[in-house]
């Protein structure tokens, strides 16, 4: 029996809900067709618009904050792997190994602390802030349904009030067959019954209207107070959230800067102890196919013996081996013709001066020669810029330039761009050009990484 009663209540509730949905649907159709007026509240509608905007902004901020946290975690992993790599290459006998290991540990802890504080002080606060929106959004939707119920009850009551006079007229002048056929003594009872029935329907409609109005107004008043308050709270929330992020990031970078400075000091100590070890500069390898093609088109050398194919990597500057190799590989430059006008003597240490000073000396020499009546030295056809050799280079093929540190080279384009190998330039030494003025005798290729551009 209890089970049957429970099923009956469930079925009755289901039928009641279906009836409410049907009534609301009919009311909405009548409102859209203009056959029934709709209660409007422009102030509340503005609050709802602000609510939706605030919800969208908060959802976007939450998404971007999660992306930021994912990036912090990725940077943590990358930094950790980089420090692990440093530990692997840091040999046990190098000074500062223990300090570098400790710095790596502190670096890892700092990243973990930064990420956790961002979660606690920003992400969790963000989640709490957005947690209140679903309930309010549900209540706004429910208020809309109750407003439709209120309008429907109001229209039903108004229709009964309008039909009241028609019913009273019918009661005063009976027209139905039942009323005409009824005896005189019975007609009074029928009229009393119709009046009582009409009053009952009207009273029921009035009760439904009062009930619907009360439910709607209670929800409406609460939301009218909460929505503006929620809208105004966004300012303080944004301020607190971004201040927390900014403060955490500032502290993180300050502490990380200290660790980086400590690591820099450790590596500086390693450099001082092993700073005498230098690394040779190697030229880019040349493609043999292009090299042989260029040699076939090149004129035969004037009986010059072929040079031994040596590595283009010079020994460290200043070492005895470098001096010996420079003397053995460097060909003496032919003496040049006397200049037509007086020239300033060149400083013996000019090759070691900065590029700007070298160019200044060259400009002064040209100006003095021009003042003596001679013409200024012309540049080779297609001249692009000047470079200065930073290391000695021993040519390994007949189409290469022999360079000594300090030599100035005038760079010119390749006649056939396809013959240019990566990392190699075509040019003529400035001293050879000033003497011969013939590219066929002086030009050659040289490795770009042995030189530095000066003009």
Give the pLDDT confidence of 35-89 residue by residue, as tens digits: 666 777 889 999 999 999 999 999 999 999 999 999 999 999 999 999 999 999 9
Instruction: Write down the pLDDT at residue 186.
Output: 56
Contact 281, 246 (CB under 8 A): no
Task: Categorize the per-residue pLDDT at 334 as very low, low, confident or very high, splitting at 50, 70 and 90.
Answer: very low
Alpha helices in 90-132 (DSSP H): 97-118, 124-131
Instruction: Write down the pLDDT at residue 23.
Output: 73
More reliable by pLDDT, 344 or 27: 27
Percent of the chain surpassing pLDDT 90: 42
Instruction: Write down the pLDDT at residue 340.
Output: 42
| 3-state percent helix, strand, coil for the chain, nearest multiple of 5 | 65, 5, 25
Q: Which of 117-126, 142-151, 330-339 has the lowest mean pLDDT?
A: 330-339
Q: How far apart are the C-alpha atoms of 111 and 285, rounded to whole Å? A: 43
Which three-class secondary structure state does DSSP give residue 284?
A: coil
Residue closest to 273 by CA, chosen among 121, 96, 20: 96
Task: Categorize the per-residue pLDDT at 164 as very low, low, confident or very high, splitting at 50, 70 and 90.
Answer: low
* DSSP element (H, E) containing 177: helix 177-181
Q: Which of 117-121, 299-303, 380-384, 416-420 has the lowest mean pLDDT?
A: 299-303
Mean of all residue pLDDT scores within the chain: 76
Q: How far apart are the C-alpha atoms of 346 and 361, rounded to whole Å? A: 8
- Prediction pTM value: 0.50
Residue 143 has pLDDT above 80, yes or no: yes
Contact 126, 62 (CB under 8 A): yes
Q: How far apart are the C-alpha atoms of 91 and 97, rounded to whole Å? A: 8
Residue 27 burial by Cβ neighbours in a 10 Å radius (0-12, 13-18, 19+): buried
Instruction: Write down the pLDDT at residue 18.
Output: 72
Q: Which residues pair with 393 in a beta bridge?
A: 403
List of domains in the chain: 16-273 (1.20.1270.60), 288-299+308-330+375-453 (2.30.30.40)
Residue 283 has pLDDT above 80, yes or no: no
Instruction: Write down the pLDDT at residue 306.
Output: 39
Instruction: Write down the pLDDT at residue 304.
Output: 37
Give the model confidence (pLDDT) of 225-234 as tens digits. Answer: 999 999 999 9
Task: Categorize the per-residue pLDDT at 278 as very low, low, confident or very high, splitting at 50, 70 and 90.
Answer: low
Which tokens hold the place of 277? 């070890």
* DSSP element (H, E) containing 79: helix 42-89
Residue 321 has pLDDT above 50, yes or no: no
């Amino acid at each position: 029996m209890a089970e049957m009663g429970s099923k009956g209540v469930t079925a009755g509730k289901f039928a009641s809900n279906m009836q409410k949905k049907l009534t609301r649907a009919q009311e909405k159709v009548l409102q859209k067709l203009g056959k029934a007026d709709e209660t409007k509240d422009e102030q509340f509608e503005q609050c709802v618009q602000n609510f939706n905007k605030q919800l969208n902004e908060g959802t976007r901020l939450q998404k971007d904050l999660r992306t930021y946290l994912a990036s912090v975690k990725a940077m943590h992993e990358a930094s950790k792997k980089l420090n692990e790599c440093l530990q692997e290459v840091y040999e046990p006998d190098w000074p500062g190994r223990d300090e570098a290991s400790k710095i790596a540990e502190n670096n890892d802890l700092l990243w973990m602390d930064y990420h956790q504080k961002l979660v606690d002080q920003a992400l969790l606060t963000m989640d709490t802030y957005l947690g209140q929106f679903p309930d309010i959004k549900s209540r706004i939707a429910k208020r809309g349904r109750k407003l439709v119920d209120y309008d429907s009850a109001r229209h039903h009551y108004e229709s009964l009030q309008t039909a009241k006079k028609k019913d009273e007229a019918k009661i005063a002048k009976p027209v139905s067959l039942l009323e005409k056929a009824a005896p005189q003594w019975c007609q009074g009872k029928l009229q009393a019954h119709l009046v009582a029935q009409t009053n009952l329907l009207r009273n029921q409609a009035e009760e439904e209207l009062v009930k619907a109005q009360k439910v709607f107004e209670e929800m409406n008043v609460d939301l009218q107070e909460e929505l503006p308050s929620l809208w105004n709270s966004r300012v303080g929330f944004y301020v607190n959230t971004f201040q927390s992020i900014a403060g955490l990031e500032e502290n993180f970078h300050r502490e990380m800067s200290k660790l980086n400075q400590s690591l820099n000091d450790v590596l500086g100590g390693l450099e001082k102890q092993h700073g005498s070890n230098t690394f040779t500069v190697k030229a880019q390898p040349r493609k043999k196919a292009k090299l042989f093609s260029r040699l076939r088109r090149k004129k035969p050398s004037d009986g010059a013996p072929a040079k031994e194919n040596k590595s283009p990597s010079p020994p460290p500057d200043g070492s005895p081996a470098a001096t010996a190799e420079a003397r053995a590989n460097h060909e003496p430059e032919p003496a040049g013709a006397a200049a037509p006008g007086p020239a300033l003597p060149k400083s013996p240490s000019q090759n070691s001066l900065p590029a700007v000073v070298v160019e200044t000396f060259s400009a002064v020499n040209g100006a003095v020669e021009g003042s003596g009546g001679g013409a200024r030295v012309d540049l080779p056809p297609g001249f692009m810029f000047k470079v200065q050799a930073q290391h000695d280079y021993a040519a390994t093929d007949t189409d290469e330039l022999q360079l000594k540190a300090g030599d100035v080279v005038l760079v010119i384009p390749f006649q056939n761009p396809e013959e240019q190998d990566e990392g190699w330039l075509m040019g003529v030494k400035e001293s050879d050009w000033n003497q011969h003025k013939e590219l066929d005798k002086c030009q050659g290729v040289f490795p770009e990484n042995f030189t530095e551009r000066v003009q």
